[in-house]
Structure 1
Amino acid sequence: MGGGGLYTPLDTLKPLAPGLWVADGPAIRFYGMPFPTRMVVVRLSGGGLWMHSPIAPDERLLDEIDALGPVTHLVAPNALHYAYLPAWAARYPAAQVHAAPGVARRAARHGLRFPPHEPLGDTAPPAWADTLRQKLIPGHAFLREVVFFYIPSATQILTDLIENFEPARLSPFMRLATWIAATQAPGGQTPRDAQWTWRDKAAAAHALRAVLGWKPQRIVMAHGRIVEEGAEAHLRHAFAWALGRV
């Protein structure tokens, strides 16, 4: 994937709804393949900023964020999306760090000192319970992701549970790889390798049904096209491996 695969302009805030922004960053390589990166920024009711899966820090982006308000919460939603968070925590030492199960352990295995943090689970802490809902999707040995729901605009915030790569933005190799993985737009799903290795699909299904009960109208994920229409139908399709096809 060349530069055309990225969601330019990079390293700048893009509004999606009142109090909700995304910022797209440079690609990272995972198993030799380039993945575009994306973070989500939410303004909480108290005025502080909640940062989901922070991308590589860039001075222009940091200046834009500082103009919005104080950074109060930094979130690592799964054990793949944490690498840049320590740098953000150093930049914003007053911010509270939150991490999904397994993040600190994986960071330590890769020689990265992860900052002290609060664990993420099914219950939103008081600091954001009036703005965001959350749910831990259990049952996988590695991909234990906490998903979020931005209440004011009914926006589902995911990380890797759905990937939605646009074929026109990809190299021929990536088009083939994402087709095999079932992660191509417009119907990107949970990557097939995760589907096949999910140990407790019943537990995942129970959590995912609760997520569907939130009635999302938009889906934002870390990799690929944002879903602006038919969000519930897209979730049911993407999670059919756990929910079944009825």
Structure 2
Amino acid sequence: MPPSNAENEIIIREVVKDVWIFSRPFNLFNRLPVGGRSTAIKLKNGDVWLIASTPLTSSTRSKLAELGVVRYIIAPNAFHNLFLKSYKDAYPEAKVIGPEELNEKKRAEGWQLDEVFNTSVPDPKLGFEDEIEHCFFVGYKNKDVAYHHKASKTVVAADLLFNLPATEQYSQTQNKPSFPIINSWSANSWVMRMFVWLKEGDFAEMQWSARKVGTWDFDRWIPCHGDVIETNAKQVFKEAYRRYF
């Protein structure tokens, strides 16, 4: 659930030209301080592409209105869906995109995604490929999709990489994002490699996806959980996924 003072705790900043992040505290299972983050990208035609993983606060709405018209609302995996309906209600003309598994959850809310990733159509044509390419990790249990904004050399994804502690996401609170037992869950830690291994559903599919991302020209990675990897992100990704290279 969003914190009661979500409006005051959200941090909005431009990471690089036309790429904005919306960061906030979030405790997984009401215990683990992993943080949460949405990411908005202003496309060349003025439309806004948005990974929606944080509450739609008034400050979030104001910034999105400044950027342009929200045309794409992205659910980055099968678990980041808590706030999707509020965004869809606010931007009814936007196309909601995510893994097919989410439709089962959304059916209970009385709606469905507009475009889905699944094993039959792992590479759907979504309308923004010239600027943002994607890779569906079919073999990853969380059904994550990585997105690469070519102009800024930035990858945006949910649970493919964690980079904890979530310093920025907790910077407006009195709480420290210290993680029980584990001192660090940085993106290039053994904990991250173990997490990837535990989430592996199919080795061959994971290898194909990891190697595809490895061909992208990127330097920055924006995760939903933890601090932004501002530089050298491609090497960090290959270290975390070295089992597949």
TM-score between both structures, scaled by the size of structure 1: 0.82
Q: 1:119 aligns with which of 116, 120, 123?
A: 116
Question: 1:237 aligns to what SS in structure 2?
Answer: helix
Q: Does 1:14 align with 2:13?
A: yes
Q: Does 1:145 align with 2:147?
A: no
- Give the fraction of aligned pairs with identical amino acids, expressed as a percent: 19
Q: Does 1:165 align with 2:171?
A: no
Indicate the structure whose relative CO is greater, using CA pairs within 8 Å and at least 6 residues apart: 2
1:2-51 Cα offsets, whole Å, 9 max, x none, are: x9xxxx97435311122111111231433742331001101112211011
| Cα drift, residue 54 of structure 1 | 3.3
Task: Give the Cα separation in 1 of the matches to 2:166 and 2:156.
Answer: 22
Unaligned runs of 5+ in 2: 168-175
Task: Give the Cα separation in 2 of the matches to 1:146 and 1:28.
Answer: 22
Aligned pair in 2 of structure 1 residues 232, 15: CA closer, same or farther (>3 Å)?
same
| Cα drift, residue 188 of structure 1 | 7.5
Q: Does 1:176 align with 2:181?
A: yes
Aligned pair in 2 of structure 1 residues 95, 124: CA closer, same or farther (>3 Å)?
same
Task: Give the Cα separation in 1 of the matches to 2:41 and 2:166.
Answer: 29
Q: What is the match of residue 132 of structure 2?
A: 132
TM-score between both structures, scaled by the size of structure 2: 0.82
Aligned pair in 2 of structure 1 residues 94, 167: CA closer, same or farther (>3 Å)?
closer
1:146-187 Cα offsets, whole Å, 9 max, x none, are: 11000001101121011010287533xx142465xxx33664
Q: What is the match of residue 213 of structure 1?
A: 215
| Cα drift, residue 194 of structure 1 | 4.6
Question: 1:81 aligns to what SS in structure 2?
Answer: coil
Task: Give the Cα separation in 2 of the matches to 1:188 and 1:225.
Answer: 17
Q: What is the match of residue 45 of structure 1?
A: 44
1:98-139 Cα offsets, whole Å, 9 max, x none, are: 11231222455xx54444421136546352111100000121
Q: What is the match of residue 240 of structure 2?
A: 238
